[in-house]
Chains A and B, each alone.
Chain A
Amino acid sequence: MGQITLQDVQKSFGPVHIIKGADLEIADGSFVVFVGPSGCGKTTLLRLIAGLEDVSGGKILIDGKNVVDTPPAKRGLSMVFQSYALYPHMSVRGNIGFGLKMAGLSKDETNRKVEAAAATLNLTPYLDRKPRELSGGQRQRVAIGRAIVREPKAFLFDEPLSNLDAALRVQMRIEVTRLQKQLGTTAIYVTHDQVEAMTMADKIVVLNGGKIEQYGSPLELYEKPANLFVAGFIGSPKMNFVTGEHALQKGAATIGVRPEHLKIERDGAGGWQGTIAVAEHLGSDTFLYVDAGPFGMLTARYIGELSLHAGDRVSLVPDPARIHRFDAGGNAIRG
């Protein structure tokens, strides 16, 4: 079991409020991603759950038990650090088995569990090596091995893939997701990369300035962003925002349209007209950055190749069903 509930969790460092009251319900076995720009408090929130920082207020419940006064080791969670934080003087076997050794398990029992974890992560040939003799991806797997061997109630991941190169990151992303599904253990994963968030999560928590902006499944966040911040943060390339008279006509202070929901028309008379400033041809997609005068710079995405170039005139027609409306406070207007 690994159900985690946050009730009005707060954290301040002196006069600075880092977490301004977070409420959250994390179901057993789910994969939850905390995402947000740097400094939004996502790592702090994770460290509060881990017990590496003390809360300034509120409750953290693990399986219904308040753990705010419980030391990290007794919470039954395990953590994978951004820097891997492997013990440099211990072998892979020693690293993975350290937690079991501290828990007082017998040597045989420890070895059996360590070898099982190593087999799951394809680390068996490296068990007697030191961390410095391993590649980045292997070190990452040792850090994950150290987390899974203790059979925790939940895994806490603090930007674990950000030190890997792009190709390896995609591969590890899939491995971590597969492993979590296979073990069925609750996971909380912190990242600033919204692609990682969208691909890995069952549910995403979008954080900004120490507040939870929205909590929902990846598609909910994509299709029904609660406010301007979530709308701009989720989705790549970013959603286009248009203010002023055009928005007022639709009964909103701001309207947003995703680049993939803009229909591109050559020499069209309707929609938002402008000149292409930059055209990016990726083969699979074409991205157009259009200078649309009073509407500002707009991004449009076309699936497949479109032979348009910088300087061409186009008009962009928003899909009326896919227009997001926001009020003056930045909150979404529904209906």
Chain B
Amino acid sequence: MARMATTRRVVISTIGAWFFGFLIFFPILWMVLTSFKTELEAFAIPPSFLFFHWTTENYVTVQERSDYFHHALNSVIIAGGSTLIALLIAIPAAWSMAFSPTKRTKDILLWMLSTKMMPPVGVLVPIYLIYKSFGLLDSRIGLVFILCLGNLPIVIWMLFTYFKEIPRDILEAARMDGATIGRELVYVLTPMAIPGLASTMLLNLILAWNEAFWTLNLSTSNAAPLTTFIASYSSPEGLFWAKLSAASTLAIAPILVLGWFSQKQLVRGLTFGAVK
């Protein structure tokens, strides 16, 4: 009896998990499906799920009308560059706060997080004017800079929590073994922090890749990443659902592939320290 009840519970929770998983995935699936429809079928009511005229003409049109690879390259540079710089600043910052904290360390951490509580739109005008005077509008360096600053608090927080999980004893053992601070970082700390570093890097890449507020407001064409590329398909001429979907699918594809291949690392990093 007890075994039957357990089996039933497993079956029900499995069905439930699959249902919720599908529910969360559905918008992406729908977007991909829509990208293969004609504009007419894209907003047909009732919508057809799988039985429609499959076409790739949206992708052709999108590529003809705007240069996908130009925007994709911008996205790679902006997301990659801002992540790299953020990590270079955050690793030493988090390291010093985790291993030689002072009375003010907690306050500093909280202060950094508090900057994320301010809505970006509140500083849009001053930032825009500063960027204008420095000639940073529609430049890749300008976007790298603003996204790096925007994500830095989260990166430091994440790394700080990972570093905190590394037992002090091990670092002391390395010191007794004669490792200098530099060698301690290279041979002991970094290898132990790799899961945490990798997941922080991935999360930051995803956040920077999808960031739309600053990229839309501070770039037009030269430095415009894929977010701007998508936005150009919901323009004053009216909505073109199928083309918008095709553009969005193209925009998320690289990051989706990256996420898929690194999901094990990502999950491990995000639950790091949760299980001893």
Selected from B173, B187, B188, the residue in CB contact (under 8 A) with A79 is B173
Q: Are A81 and B174 in contact (CB under 8 A)?
A: no
B192 at the interface (CB under 8 A from A): yes
**Inter-chain contacts of A87 with B (CB < 8 A):** 170, 173-174, 188, 192
Q: Are A89 and B192 in contact (CB under 8 A)?
A: yes
Closest A residue, CB atoms, query B173? A85
Min CB distance A280 to B, Å, is 37
Annotate B142-177 by CB proximity to A: 1 below 8 A, 0 otherwise.
000000000000000000000000010110111111
Q: A88-B192, A98-B187 in contact; A50/B167 too (CB < 8 A)?
A: no
A328 at the interface (CB under 8 A from B): no
Q: A83-B169, A98-B174 in contact; A89/B179 too (CB < 8 A)?
A: no
**Inter-chain contacts of A103 with B (CB < 8 A):** 178
Q: A81-B169, A85-B169, A87-B170 in contact; A98/B192 too (CB < 8 A)?
A: no
In chain A, positions 241-269 with a C-beta closer than 8 Å to chain B are none
B135 at the interface (CB under 8 A from A): no
Q: A98-B187, A102-B183 in contact; A72/B167 too (CB < 8 A)?
A: no
**Inter-chain contacts of B174 with A (CB < 8 A):** 87, 98
Q: Are B177 and A99 in contact (CB under 8 A)?
A: yes
**Inter-chain contacts of B177 with A (CB < 8 A):** 73, 78, 98-99, 102, 146, 150
A187 at the interface (CB under 8 A from B): no
A52 at the interface (CB under 8 A from B): yes
Closest B residue, CB atoms, query A152? B176
Closest B residue, CB atoms, query A104? B178
A77 at the interface (CB under 8 A from B): yes
**Inter-chain contacts of A150 with B (CB < 8 A):** 177
Closest B residue, CB atoms, query A82? B169
Q: How far is B177's CA from A195's CA once the two chains are assembled, in angstroms? A: 30
Q: Are A73 and B167 in contact (CB under 8 A)?
A: no
Min CB distance B219 to A, Å, is 42
Q: How far is B238's CA from A303's CA once the two chains are assembled, in angstroms? A: 99
B119 at the interface (CB under 8 A from A): no
Q: Are A85 and B172 in contact (CB under 8 A)?
A: yes
Min CB distance B45 to A, Å, is 58
Closest A residue, CB atoms, query B183? A102
Annotate B184-207 by CB proximity to A: 1 below 8 A, 0 otherwise.
000110011000000000000000
In chain A, positions 5-53 with a C-beta closer than 8 Å to chain B are 50, 52
Min CB distance A43 to B, Å, is 12
**Inter-chain contacts of B170 with A (CB < 8 A):** 85-88
Min CB distance B190 to A, Å, is 10
Interface bin, chain A: 20 to 34
Q: Are B175 and A72 in contact (CB under 8 A)?
A: yes
Closest B residue, CB atoms, query A80? B173
Selected from A73, A86, A88, the residue in CB contact (under 8 A) with B175 is A73
Q: How far is B192's CA from A86's CA once the two chains are assembled, in angstroms? A: 12
Min CB distance B107 to A, Å, is 19
Q: A87-B188, A88-B192, A98-B187 in contact; A52/B167 too (CB < 8 A)?
A: no
**Inter-chain contacts of A146 with B (CB < 8 A):** 173, 177
In chain A, positions 76-132 with a C-beta closer than 8 Å to chain B are 77-79, 81-83, 85-89, 98-99, 102-103
Min CB distance A202 to B, Å, is 24
Selected from B172, B183, B187, the residue in CB contact (under 8 A) with A81 is B172
Q: Are B187 and A73 in contact (CB under 8 A)?
A: no
Q: A83-B167, A83-B169, A102-B183 in contact; A77/B176 too (CB < 8 A)?
A: yes
Annotate A55-83 by CB proximity to B: 1 below 8 A, 0 otherwise.
00000000000000001111001110111
Q: A83-B167, A85-B167 in contact; A102/B173 too (CB < 8 A)?
A: no
**Inter-chain contacts of B192 with A (CB < 8 A):** 87-89
Selected from B169, B173, B191, the residue in CB contact (under 8 A) with A89 is B191
Selected from A73, A86, A89, the residue in CB contact (under 8 A) with B178 is A73
Q: How far is B176's CA from A120's CA once the two chains are assembled, in angstroms? A: 22
Q: A88-B192, A89-B191 in contact; A81/B173 too (CB < 8 A)?
A: yes
Q: Are A73 and B179 in contact (CB under 8 A)?
A: yes
Q: How far is B191's CA from A99's CA once the two chains are assembled, in angstroms? A: 17
Min CB distance A274 to B, Å, is 49
**Inter-chain contacts of B188 with A (CB < 8 A):** 87
Q: Are B191 and A102 in contact (CB under 8 A)?
A: no
Closest A residue, CB atoms, query B170? A85
Closest A residue, CB atoms, query B175? A72
**Inter-chain contacts of A72 with B (CB < 8 A):** 172, 175-176
Selected from B175, B179, B187, B191, the residue in CB contact (under 8 A) with A52 is B175
Q: How far is B188's CA from A53's CA once the two chains are assembled, in angstroms? A: 21
Q: A87-B188, A88-B192 in contact; A102/B178 too (CB < 8 A)?
A: yes
Q: How far is B178's CA from A50's CA once the two chains are assembled, in angstroms? A: 12
What residues make up the interface of B, taking CB atoms closer than 8 Å to A? 167, 169-170, 172-179, 183, 187-188, 191-192
Other A-B pairs beyond A82-B169, A86-B170, A98-B177, 16, CB < 8 Å: A50-B176, A71-B175, A72-B176, A73-B175, A73-B176, A73-B177, A73-B179, A79-B173, A79-B176, A85-B167, A85-B172, A87-B188, A89-B191, A98-B179, A99-B176, A99-B177
A–B complex contacts, Cβ < 8 Å, 8 sampled: A73-B179, A74-B178, A83-B167, A87-B170, A98-B187, A102-B177, A102-B179, A150-B177
- When A and B form their complex, which 9 residue pairs have the shortest distance between CB atoms, in order from nearest? A73-B178, A85-B169, A99-B177, A85-B173, A102-B178, A89-B191, A85-B170, A81-B169, A79-B176
